[in-house]
Amino acid sequence: MREFFKGWRRKLGCVTLLMACMVVAAWLRSGIRYDFFDLNIAGMTYRLGLHGGNLRFIKQGPSASKQLVSWNTGELQELLPYQPGQSRDPWDGIAVDWRWDWNEFHAGAGQYPGGRLSHTCFIIPYWSLTVPLTLLSASLLLWKPRKRTGQGHA
């Protein structure tokens, strides 16, 4: 068994597989709960949001919060109580300055009503992280080292 873990490729393969497992765990959790990690710097809030099968990187401001770091969590149904016919557009209710949407990837910036709060957001689905990490770990773990020939250089 010890022979299997010789070399940097196998060790890196185990690390990437562990990272892929952690992303899958966060992905499953995001289907029932939400988590927001906020960092308030110089009047702006930088937020990592984990919910609904997506990672959301958000910059909002100006912020009056005095707390440097905060974490908020709860049931997903509290955050997104969608009613039949209600928009699931991530930019609903925001005056959009620019916007880019492709498949489940979203990016954009705008102002909330009243123009007092700016909002910049990047949304990335978990699967776009899980699949490459899994493929990378599989290639690193299953890579067969070349057999060295017994011929020496003269």
Residue pLDDT, tens place only, 133-150: 999 999 988 877 667 776
- The Cα angle at residue 11 between residues 137 and 48, in degrees rounded to 5: 60
Q: Whole-model pTM?
A: 0.77
Q: Is residue 7 part of a domain?
A: yes
| Tokens linked to 24 | 């899958």
Q: Is residue 22 part of a domain?
A: yes
Q: C-alpha 9: how far from its chain's center?
A: 25
Q: Is residue 125 part of a domain?
A: yes
Q: If DSSP states are collapsed to H, E and C, what string results for 124-147?
A: EECHHHHHHHHHHHHHHHHCCCCC
Residue 152 is predicted with a pLDDT of 59
CA distances from 95 to 49, 92, 113, 134, 153 (A): 21, 8, 7, 38, 70
d(CA 27, CA 54): 7
d(CA 46, CA 42): 10
Residue range 43-74, pLDDT digits in tens:
899 999 998 889 999 999 988 888 899 999 99
Q: Is residue 77 part of a domain?
A: no
Can you tell me whether residue 52 is helix, strand or coil? coil
Q: Which residues are CB-neighbours of 125 under 8 A, at least 6 positions away?
A: 53, 54, 55, 104, 105
Residue 115 is predicted with a pLDDT of 77
Q: Is residue 81 part of a domain?
A: no
Q: Is residue 101 part of a domain?
A: yes
Q: Is residue 106 part of a domain?
A: yes
Residue 93 is predicted with a pLDDT of 80
d(CA 80, CA 14): 36
**What is the average pLDDT score of the chain?**
86
- Residue-number span of the structural domain to which 62 is assigned: 2-72+95-142
The number of distinct structural domains making up the chain is: 1
Confirm if 31 and 24 have CB atoms less than 8 A apart. Answer: no
Q: Is residue 86 part of a domain?
A: no
Residue 6 has pLDDT above 80, yes or no: no
